[in-house]
Chains A and B, each alone.
Chain A
Amino acid sequence: MSLNIFPIVHKEFRQIRRDKRTLAVLLFIPALMLFLFGYALNFDIKHTATAVYDEDNSAVSRDFIQQFFRNEYFDYTYCLNSKSEINNLVDGGSVKMVLVIPKKFSDHLAHGENTPVQIIIDGSNSNTGSVLVGYVNMIIQQYSMNVLAETFARQGGKMIAAPIDYEPRVWYNPELKSAKFLVPGLIAFILMVTAVISTALAVVRERELGTMEQIMVSPVKPVELILGKTIPYTVISLIATVMILILGAILFDVTIKGSVLLLALVTIIFLIGALGMGLFISTIAETQQVAFMIAVLATMLPTFILSGFVFPIRNMPWIIQVITYIIPARYFLVALRAIVLKGVGISAFWEQLLYMVAFAALMLTVSSIRLKKILS
């Protein structure tokens, strides 16, 4: 049997090697994406363009406004002279936030009356919007606390400190760098997309070009065909994984905290599942176009959105959470993050590993049954 695998492997490799662009894509795009994710794409919300309309225009209101621009969250972009300017600025997207200080702001404060401040936030990007709401509430609450403490001190009380000494701590990723969160996700994403799409086309192409008949009359068995078709893409995907890991360590300090051997094992199991899925798509599609569409729809967006790569699964409605259980990348991601970021052992993710083994077995079985049908 092994005698028949090598010619197919050899042929696939040759085909990949001749197609320089595909090879380049498979090897270098992962590195490029890592670079982009690390440097360009993040959810950190800083330097939000802010307009201020200060109807009070007093020393107190200016001091209050100053509180917002002492950190890097907000940038003082516009100073408004009338309320009518607000609509255009926010509609056009020139500012994401408007701060409106009412008349008599300082008078109210001086007399110990509560005073409202109006804040308009552009909520069209819900994530940015909720972070901004959080920042604003925090800054204003801090300001109120200070006013309270100062008033108390002025009335002869001794200076008081905040009653609770609040100490926030972040584990695993202390600087909360997006890159650390995204590197493991990126590995899963790229492996899934390249492995499934490239194998999905492998069998269909032979059918569409009519070369499948030639293979059928040759003494190649289905198992040999499958292995021969998948081994080259496995090798390429593994090289891409290693490149991502090396670059992640060099550029973003994402070193593998856990066992490298375990990482390799988990990656290979996931890859077998992904390649099996690609083969399966390949056997149900009639043309490369259809195979491609199914592969894209089944891998790209689901892996990007339903695996927990970017969006936390637990926030999804339960029905969508149920769907995420059939996304193999979901399990791979848990295992990857556990090994790379947390450095924990197999006991923390054995359930995920079990599922991945089951998925790989299922995909290989189903696709070899289908392939047998096609070949006979």
Chain B
Amino acid sequence: MFGISFIAPILQLIVLGYAASLDVSNMPMVVCDMDHSAASRDLVDHFTSTGYFSIKGYVERHTEIDSWLDDGHASIAIVIPKNFERNLNNGKQAPLQVIADGTETSSASIGFSYASMIVMQYSQNILMESLLKHGQQIIAAQVSPEVRVWYNPDLKSRNFMVPGVLGLLLMVMTMILTSLAIVKEKELGTLEQLVVTPIRPYQLIIGKLAPFFVIGIVDVLLVVAAAAVVFSLPVKGGVLLLIGLSILFLMTTLGLGLFISTISHTQQQAMMTAIFFFMFPMMFFSGFVFPIENMPVLIQYVSVLVPLRYYFVIVRGLFLKGVGMAMLWPQAVALLVFGLVILSLSVARFQKRIG
């Protein structure tokens, strides 16, 4: 148990930090070049030189594409029909087809936006060239986008995920283990033995919660160290502030753990309740992977009740943006209120049950 509590978080952090990525690069592409011209090869080069696509094979006929996409060896196909070059040279529109495997929705749409960017760039070059070739002096201004990405300039998924994993781990380690630890005493009948000893209920509760509180704090420190060492992601907003706000979050998870233990009779039941009624909804409604602002309005209201949501704003604010209490106080207040309510509610329920 000891090993699981401390080694698992680090393992998970590293695996998830590297794996949980929606970045699109080297999308496997199959090329159907029926023109075999300099222009068609040039276009294909445009696709590969960006690094977003990598060619896995060439086919001669349109029908051969099917099997490539069917068995998943390619997820995007580019079809250059005959006379592509001739059309371009004659100033006619040259058709070009790009086919994407839509089963992976997110990759497909990102891949499409890269593809259309590349095609548009290529079109523009051709247009300019042909104008020059015809001796047209044309001065047309271009608007150049100067895009600056703040907080995560390389748009690395792991910078987004690593702070998120911290929130998820804390929830699993503290909420679920707390509920199991208490229900275990119930299931084995040792809770009655504790109740008849001179230990007061509040002492019992504190004694039961304290170890998981300590585990939670140690996990925070472990993750902070691992994030800095492995992912070079230091806590810009200050480690002390992170610990302070994590304590507020731990209040909510420990409180929920205690609450689950008061409504469960067996460990299996506690676990099922914890996972399916608390963990899944919290994991999905908190903005861990799926942005809250994309959800239907009704669900957005539901997510207000998820403490993890506030903690995510806090960890991402502290790790990525480096903001301080001036920005994070609403989240801190929400966690505090939530923590106090759930703790007092479950302590009351717990006392009633053993009293």
Contacts and interface: CB of A to CB of B under 8 A. Distances in A.
A165 B117 contact: no
Contact of A172 (B102, B140, B323): B102
A319 B15 CA distance: 9
Interface string A20-43: 011001100100010010011111
Could you say which interface size class chain B belongs to?
Answer: 35 or more
Contacts of A342: 70, 103
Nearest to B106: A43
B197 interface: no
A144 B143 contact: yes
B177 A334 contact: no
Contacts of A341: 103
Interface in B162-179: 168, 172, 176-177
Interface stretch (A2-10, A129-137, A213-221, A244-252): A129-137
A119 B19 contact: no
A311 B91 CA distance: 42
Contact of B98 (A115, A163, A169, A323): A169
B275 A296 contact: yes
B127 A163 contact: yes
A334 B101 CA distance: 13
Interface in A269-314: 287-290, 292-294, 296-297, 300-302, 305-306, 310-312, 314
Contact of A121 (B143, B147, B266): B147
A315 B136 CA distance: 45
A293 B152 contact: no
A213 to B, nearest CB: 16
A260 B98 CA distance: 31
B123 A164 contact: yes
Contacts of B103: 172-173, 180-181, 337, 341-342
B202 interface: no
Interface in B103-128: 103-110, 112-117, 119-124, 126-128
Interface stretch (B288-296, B335-343, B347-355): B288-296
B160 A152 contact: no
Nearest to A184: B103
Contacts of B130: 163
Contacts of A41: 284, 290, 295
Contact of A120 (B23, B91, B148, B267): B148
Interface centre among A64, A160, A163, A310 (most CB of B within 10 A): A163
Contacts of B141: 108-109, 111-115, 144, 147, 151
B21 interface: yes
Contact of B26 (A161, A296, A301, A314): A314
Contacts, number: 377
Contact of B321 (A47, A91, A129, A163): A91
A365 interface: no
Interface in B58-82: 69-72
Interface centre among A116, A144, A147, A161 (most CB of B within 10 A): A144
B117 A171 contact: no
B98 A126 contact: no
B93 A117 contact: no
Contacts of A197: 271-272, 275
A288 B181 contact: no
A132 B320 CA distance: 19
Interface string B77-103: 000000000001001011111111111
Interface in A138-156: 138, 140-145, 147-148, 151-152, 155
A98 B146 CA distance: 12
Interface string A319-352: 1100110000000001001100110100011000
Interface string B132-164: 000010111111111111111101110110000
Interface of B is mostly: helix
Contacts of B184: 287-289
Given A19-B268, A120-B148, A125-B291, A344 B120 contact: no
A205 B23 CA distance: 43
A262 to B, nearest CB: 15
Contact of B267 (A123, A201, A324): A201
B100 A118 contact: no
Contacts of B94: 163-165
Contact of A169 (B20, B72, B99, B126): B99
Nearest to A99: B145
Interface string A156-185: 010011111111111111101110110000
B144 A169 contact: no
Interface centre among B104, B131, B151, B268 (most CB of A within 10 A): B268
Contact of B102 (A151, A174, A316): A174
B48 interface: no
A315 B148 contact: no
A348 B12 contact: no
Contacts of B155: 123, 126, 129-130, 133
Contacts of A305: 15-16, 19-20
Nearest to A92: B327
Contacts of A126: 21-23, 152, 155-157, 159-160
A130 B23 contact: yes
A29 B72 CA distance: 31
B1 A290 contact: yes
Contacts of A121: 147-150
Contacts of B16: 301, 305
B147 A136 contact: yes
A135 B115 CA distance: 12
A173 B18 contact: no
Contacts of B296: 39-40
A64 B143 CA distance: 10
Nearest to B95: A165
B116 A168 contact: yes
B240 interface: no
Given A147-B140, A163-B94, A320-B19, 10 more contacts: A111-B141, A112-B139, A141-B124, A164-B119, A166-B98, A168-B100, A168-B112, A180-B102, A201-B267, A348-B70
Shortest 5 CB-CB contacts between residues of A and residues of B: A173-B102, A112-B139, A134-B113, A123-B152, A123-B149
